[in-house]
Structure 1
Amino acid sequence: MQNGFYTVAGAMVTQFNRLDQISNNLANLNTNGYKEQNLVIGDFMRIYQQKRDDLPLQNQTKEAAKFLNRSINRVPHIVNEYNDFSMGPMKATGNPLDLALGEKDLFFAVETPAGVRLTRDGAFKLDEQGRVVTKEGYPVLSSGYFKSRQPIYVPAEAVNLKIDAGGRIEYMDQTALDTPVYVDRLMVVRVEDPESLKNEGGNLFTTEGGLKESELTIVTQTSAVRQGMIEKSNVNPVRQMTELIETNRLVEMYQKAMNAQMDDLNSDAINKLASVRA
């Protein structure tokens, strides 16, 4: 296979992956708490240089050559995927169980069948048992969950539910409307390096090896919880549409280059291989 054809084919596959990432961002434009996903595109030469510096290996040696094939050293390649954890716009809803967080490195903790996961989507509700859950039905955890192993329950008789900036949940008893009743406190988790989190689908995040109790930094003193508000997606639709157009144009360009490569290959086959010499 011609080296140029391989390079163009690899570049086209990379752009297809970029199209998937952009399409996913645009599809989640109205998803509460969604964080924009991005790709870093490099080439095999960059990977080679990093490996050489790590080992380290000197250039122009047989050992170094094992990590580099000159025929593919400029193929565009996805070298990193990351989330943009900048704050999305806040929207007031008036719903007492709609919650937002005013700092970008804070997360709510929820219990899923796969274990504890983090989310920025604070559109919570009460299920039939009176538990505070996500829209998927995952229980929202309290700050004392790892001791009690109990979700947050709100009694059926509770009225005028209040959640303060520290995550403290109270309600008014119908028999004594002037006396607040303490329910529980939300678990708010701080992640020092949000970019270390991995997407797990459903607007949930975890770490590479899965979240462990010992790794969670539970914030006991905070003023970042906003009741009656929702954080919207931080996706910039104008930038994403611009990148979508750019990526489509690159795919078209690579397609033309592939056609040109095939035309040259076919021409060589016809003119050289099929020639008969006496």
Structure 2
Amino acid sequence: MERQMMATAVTLSQIQQQLATVADNIANVGTTGYMSRNAQFSDLLDQQINNIDRNGDTVDSGARLTPAGIRSGSGTRIGDTQLDLSEGSIQATNNPLDVALSSDHQMFLIGVNGGVAYTRAGAFNAQADPQNPNVLNLVTKSGDPVLDQNSRPIRLPAGYNDLQISGNGTITAIMRNGNRVNAGRLGRVTILRPQLLESQGNGLYTLQNLGRLGIGLNQVVQPVGAGNNSVNQGKLENANVDLTKEMSELINLQRNYQLNARSLTMRDQMSGLVNSILH
């Protein structure tokens, strides 16, 4: 009895975690560049319980069609939370500093705390450089520098009249006198193992300690070449959350939670009944 109550309690805690994942997806349905997550359940260890006599031999009551004994489970747990890097819907903004990626698993390079982070949220800004009035820094909404294909901060010439970003991410600033200045190319990578990304908030992701996992960076991240035209200027990518699917999942999880909670209550009531009879 206590064994089954513990298994049910473990399952309830895991359902709560999946509910939090679904709720997070629904809450970010309007967040630019948000990538949804999907939690996957797996069974915990089972234990074989046999009827043993004093000599340690299995006692069976005769011929039977089912295996002897009872297999008792320990509940379920969330085995993995997969990050979905598929493309969301693209929305036009007509802002020359807004860019969206039209290829799955691609991400922009962002500089964070001296390292590199990744994002699909392409709502960028031009920020004045306090050390050089002739330069503007291309940054995210949080002020983090946007990096080029060589992981260097992208700088724009101050006073430009127009800005053009080609399909391969090449940035061209058109000055008031008509001169065209090449300001670099947006850094893009393809993420081969999304499960190794850790969310840092604001649509940013960083990699786990690959050395500890025994994995090389080239096994997880690959640069996107200049021949790939996945960059769309004047557009933003909406969250790739399927609201209908998430709402259906939320209803199913709520029902599973209610069923397990009711099972736990009934077991508690039966234990009380047995105790009252014995005493």
TM-score by length of 2: 0.81
Shift of residue 74, structure 1, vs aligned partner = 4.3
Residue identity matched to 1:198: E
What does residue 233 of structure 1 align with? Answer: 239
Structure 1 range deviating more: 15-24 or 111-120: 111-120
Q: Deviations over 1:91-117 (max 9, x none)?
A: 011000100111112110001126211
Deviation at 1:214, TM superposition (A): 5.8
More helix by share: 1
Give the aligned partner of residue 65 of structure 1: none
Judge conservation of contact 1:159–1:171 (CA < 8 Å) in 2.
yes
Does the aligned pair in 2 maintain the 1:169–1:185 contact within 8 Å?
A: yes
Give yes or no for contact 1:142–1:185 (8 Å, CA) kept in 2: yes
**Residues 190 and 222 in structure 2, CA contact (< 8 A), matched pair in contact too:** yes
* Map of 2:4 onto structure 1: 4
User: 1:164-179 maps to which residues of 2 (within 5 A)?
Assistant: 164-174=166-176, 176-177=177-178, 179=179
Q: Does 1:255 align with 2:261?
A: yes
Q: Secondary structure at the match of 1:127?
A: strand
3-state SS, counterpart of residue 166 of structure 1: coil
Query: Is residue 2:37 matched to residue 1:32?
Result: no
- Counterparts of 1:126-141 in structure 2 under 5 Å? 126-129=126-129, 130-141=136-147
Residue matched to 1:52: none
Question: Matches of 1:219 and 1:246 in 2, distance apart?
Answer: 40
SS of the residue 2:149 aligns to: coil
| Residues in 2 aligned to 1:35 and 1:264: alpha-carbon distance in whole angstroms | 45
Write out the 4+ residue segments of structure 1 that deviate beyond 4 Å after TM superposition: 210-214
1:191, 1:140 → 2: CA distance? 18
Q: Which stretches in structure 1 are left out of the alignment for 5+ residues?
A: 49-69
The reply to whether residue 270 of structure 1 matches residue 276 of structure 2 is yes
Separation in 2, partners of 1:182, 1:116 = 23
Contact kept, 8 Å, 1:85 with 1:195, in 2: the verdict is no
Identity %: 29
Deviation readout 1:183-230 (Å, 9 max, x if unpaired)? 111111122333443333321222221699964532232211110111
Indicate conservation of the 8 Å contact 1:41/1:77, yes or no: yes
- Distance across 2 between alignment mates of 1:210 and 1:135: 28
Instruction: Give the match's secondary structure for 1:259.
Output: helix
Residue equivalent to 1:156: 158
Q: Go from structure 1 to structure 2 and tell me whether the alpha carbon gap of 1:210 and 1:111 turns closer, same or farther (over 3 Å shift).
A: farther
Is the contact made by 2:210 and 2:216 (CA closer than 8 Å) also made in structure 1? Answer: no
Secondary structure in 1 aligned to 2:128? coil
- Displacement of 1:143 in angstroms is 1.7
Q: In 2, Cα distance between the equivalents of 1:95 and 1:213?
A: 38
Which letter maps to 2:240? Answer: N
What count of residue pairs does the alignment treat as equivalent? 245
